[in-house]
């Protein structure tokens, strides 16, 4: 057990450093983008929504580069599950989320389509570089769509919430924003390598599969920036920003994180992913859509619905920790 102390320390330090550096990176990127004249709505849709997934990207790319495809895939899928079930659930429990943004309502069907695309590509039990290229191209299309939407809907509710957030961060000068951006990226790179090393060492020592480690500890750790930003947004009365963080992160995880990692190292998709983890991710995405569209209440995620999501996450995690499957 004492031999594993460096690995446990690496995981702990890696998680803390990831959370700190991701916050600095996103804050620096958002303020820099506004200083460069980027519309607030585009900052909310891309810089904040996608930027909070920087830890997932770097951890999965690092794992794929080291030939650990299972950890890379588990991190991406597990982060999507954490985002909806735990983060969105806890956020709704703290402060019910009313959905006002038309952009957010249009992004939800887009997320459902992206989830369906990834599921189809994974059904044959493997992800090739061609699949990775298709996912990255789809991400490029979404970025283009986001830019178009930002120009058409400057008065969207999400734009106002982003403006308020950026005003709170106004003390950051352009030079300091660039410093946060660069420092955040450097620490993200270092902490990602540290976290992957520690997680693999612990998994091998306890006989736990890299996939399960990726779906649990690593996925939860890399999702900490989304957790912090979503809870703060909800408490400040910025519900669309909280939901937008989750949707944007899941879009980027599915297309960017998995796509880039597969381009580096093609994945074999374990059977457990196809019948256990992927169906859970699909079910949670559909459940979030039903709640946000107002099928159960008028465009509002209630505390009860949030509690259901958190219960679903805890149940899934217990299933993972108690299973003997890889």
- Domains of the chain (ranges plus CATH)? 2-322 (1.20.1420.30)
Give the separation between CA 225 and CA 246, rounded to whole angstroms.
Answer: 11
Residue 110 CB contacts under 8 Å (≥ 6 apart), including other chains: 142, 145, 251
Strands 300-301, 267-268: pairing is unpaired
**pLDDT by residue for the chain (326 residues), tens digit each?**
667 788 888 888 887 887 787 777 767 776 776 666 666 555 655 666 666 677 888 888 888 888 888 889 999 999 999 999 999 898 888 888 776 656 566 778 889 999 999 999 999 999 999 999 999 999 999 888 777 766 665 555 455 555 555 556 556 677 777 787 788 778 877 887 787 788 878 877 877 888 888 898 888 887 877 777 777 767 766 666 677 778 888 998 999 999 999 999 998 899 999 999 999 999 999 988 888 776 545 567 888 999 999 999 999 998 887 764 55
pLDDT at residue number 197: 82
- At how many degrees (to 10) do helices 239-252 and 69-81 cross? 160
Comparing C-alpha atoms, which of 185, 111, 196 is closest to residue 145? 111
Asked if residue 59 lies in contact with residue 222, where contact means CB atoms within 8 angstroms, the answer is yes
- Token representation of residue 179: 């410093």
Residue 145: the pLDDT is 77
Q: What pLDDT does 40 receive? A: 54
Q: What is the pLDDT of residue 181?
A: 74
pLDDT reported for residue 73 = 93
The H or E element containing residue 267 is strand 267-268
φ/ψ of 73, rounded to 5, equals -70, -40
Phi and psi for 126 in degrees, rounded to 5? -160, 155
Pairing type for strands 126-127 and 267-268 reads: antiparallel
Report d(CA 77, CA 320) in Å as an integer. Answer: 13
> Among candidates 83, 88, 17, 13, which has minimal Cα distance to 50?
83
- The confidence score (pLDDT) of residue 20 equals 80
What is the pTM for the complete model shown? 0.84
CB 15 within 8 A of CB 224: yes
């Amino acid at each position: 057990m004492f031999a594993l102390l460096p690995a446990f320390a690496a995981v702990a330090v890696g998680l803390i450093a990831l959370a700190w550096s991701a916050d600095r990176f996103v804050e620096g990127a958002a303020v820099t983008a506004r200083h460069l004249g980027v519309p607030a709505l585009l900052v909310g849709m891309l810089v904040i929504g996608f930027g909070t997934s920087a830890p997932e990207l770097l951890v999965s790319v690092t794992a794929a580069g080291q030939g650990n495809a299972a950890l890379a895939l588990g991190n991406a899928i597990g982060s999507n599950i954490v985002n909806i079930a735990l983060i969105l659930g806890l956020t709704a429990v703290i402060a019910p989320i009313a959905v006002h943004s038309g952009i957010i309502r249009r992004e939800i069907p887009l997320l459902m389509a992206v989830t369906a695309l990834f599921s189809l590509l994974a059904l044959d039990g493997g992800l090739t570089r061609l699949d990775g290229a298709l996912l990255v191209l789809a991400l490029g299309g979404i970025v283009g769509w986001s830019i178009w939407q930002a120009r058409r809907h400057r008065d969207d509710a999400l734009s106002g919430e982003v403006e308020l957030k950026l005003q709170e961060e106004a003390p950051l000068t352009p030079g300091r924003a660039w410093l946060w951006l660069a420092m955040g990226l450097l620490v993200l790179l270092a902490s990602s390598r540290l976290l992957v090393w520690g997680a693999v060492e612990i998994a091998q020592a306890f006989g736990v599969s890299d996939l399960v480690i990726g779906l649990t500890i690593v996925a939860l750790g890399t999702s900490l920036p989304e957790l912090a930003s979503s809870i703060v947004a909800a408490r400040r009365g910025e519900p669309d920003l909280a939901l937008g963080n989750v949707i944007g992160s899941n879009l980027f995880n599915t297309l960017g994180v998995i796509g880039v990692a597969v381009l580096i190292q093609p994945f074999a998709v374990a059977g457990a992913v196809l019948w256990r983890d992927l169906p859970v991710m699909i079910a949670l995405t559909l459940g979030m859509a039903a709640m946000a569209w107002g099928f159960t209440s008028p465009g509002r995620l209630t505390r009860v619905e949030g509690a259901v999501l958190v219960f679903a996450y805890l149940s899934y995690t217990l299933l993972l920790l108690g299973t003997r499957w890889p």
